[in-house]
Amino acid sequence: MNEKYKDLFAPFTLPNGIELKNRIVMAPMTHWSSNVDGTVTDAEIKYYSRRSNGVSLVITACTHVTANGQGFHGQFAAYNDKFIPDLKRVADAIKEQGAKAVLQIYHGGKMSPPELVPNGEIVSASDIPAEQNGVPGKTPRPLTEGEIEEIINAYGEATRRAIEAGYDGVEVHGANGYLIQQFFSGHSNRREDRFGGTLEKRMAFPLAVVDKVKSVVEKYGDSSFIVGHRFSPEEPEEKGITMADTLELVDALADKELDYLHVSLGDFFSTAHRGVDDLTKTRIAYLLEKINNRVPLIGVGSIYSAEDARKAFETGIPLLALGRELLIDPDWVQKVAEGKEDEIATKLDKEKQEELVIPDQLWKMIINRPGWVPGV
């Protein structure tokens, strides 16, 4: 191993005492490759197995906690006990390769395609539709307080299923515009009850989900079970989340005794857009400063080469997640460990779908979205 990359391979102990063998995590990535009924395909299992050997921890694609929370076609489910055997297949495939397996749990809210939810009725914090390329989607129905409580409990039930299926942990998906973020956002949450209005009230739902998950772990799991939370730092809309809002949320989350926080970024070195004084300062720098070592932070975003990872690690971030790069080169970690970082592929070879073990539906999405994955 090249000496300048050795810090990426130092073990890391999470707050609950679980040791990760290195600092590299596989980021959660939607793969559109599950069966229509929410069960797991063999192609998914092979995909996870192929990418779980070098990294210390694998965070799965998101799984929905209620039937009306599905946000994508081809997604495996966690809303009923009948899915436990399939959830276990994914956990086993990851753990057999030596990585910790973390199930990402979420609700799509207004981001759910109407054709994927019962009666086509999509729900959210308020009746503000999602927009895609400037075109508004279907208007969601605002959830009642009783329904909100049911969804909070559903996150808890999904956590219980993860424990029964043998996962090492769960990640609460509060990022990328899904239901938890919809409640936190001043743009999409126009409620006037205990779940909306002030910034503090908009944090009520995200924090209640974390509390529920932790209480379920206490009841059904043990102290070794990992609980993480993912968030997106800013939104472009006028009343959307600002960096200042996120720093308040992160401050509250850091006091929840979680095992990690995970920021969702397209570019690790991106700077804050608004809400803070210094717009030349990176979001990562602001977050590390606010967290102040209370909880580990996972950073992510356009890290492809070993040198990219080294520069990111120099910021003081304790853990780094690779997403698209592990699609391009599943052997990234092993190559760096063996001093073969010059052999890392940083652009997708469009002739190697079979060798890279990428399921057909995911491959189609990659090929049909030029620029999403380098090389396409």
pLDDT digits 0-9 by tens, 62-80? 999 999 999 999 999 999 9
Q: Element (H or E) spanning 62, and its range?
A: strand 57-64
Q: Which of 47, 79, 178, 286 is catalytic?
A: 178
- Per the annotation, the verdict on 178 as an active-site residue is yes
Model pLDDT for residues 99-145, shown as the tens digit of each residue? 999 999 999 999 999 999 999 999 999 999 998 888 889 999 999 99
258 neighbors 295 (Cβ within 8 angstroms): yes
Main-chain phi, psi angles of 229, to 5 degrees: -140, 130
Q: Supply the mean pLDDT for the chain.
A: 97
Instruction: Please compute the mean of the pLDDT values over residues 259-288 and round it to a whole number.
Output: 97
pLDDT at 134: 81
What pTM, to 2 d.p., does this model score?
0.97
CATH topology for 3-367 is TIM Barrel (3.20.20)
DSSP assignment of 155-194: HHHHHHHHHHTT-SEEEEEE-TTSHHHHHH-TTT----ST
Max distance between CA atoms of the chain, in angstroms, equals 58
Residue 343 has pLDDT above 90, yes or no: yes
Model pLDDT for residues 332-341, shown as the tens digit of each residue? 999 999 999 9
Main-chain phi, psi angles of 224, to 5 degrees: -80, -10
315 neighbors 298 (Cβ within 8 angstroms): no
Domain ranges of the chain: 3-367
CB atoms closer than 10 angstroms to residue 163: 21
Instruction: Please compute the mean of the pLDDT values over residues 157-179 and round it to a whole number.
Output: 98
240 neighbors 234 (Cβ within 8 angstroms): yes
Model pLDDT for residues 188-226, shown as the tens digit of each residue? 999 999 999 999 999 999 999 999 999 999 999 999 999
pLDDT at 133: 80
Helix (H, G, I), strand (E, B) or coil at 100: strand
Residue 58 has pLDDT above 90, yes or no: yes
pLDDT grade for 171, boundaries at 50, 70 and 90: very high
pLDDT at 40: 98
pLDDT at 229: 98
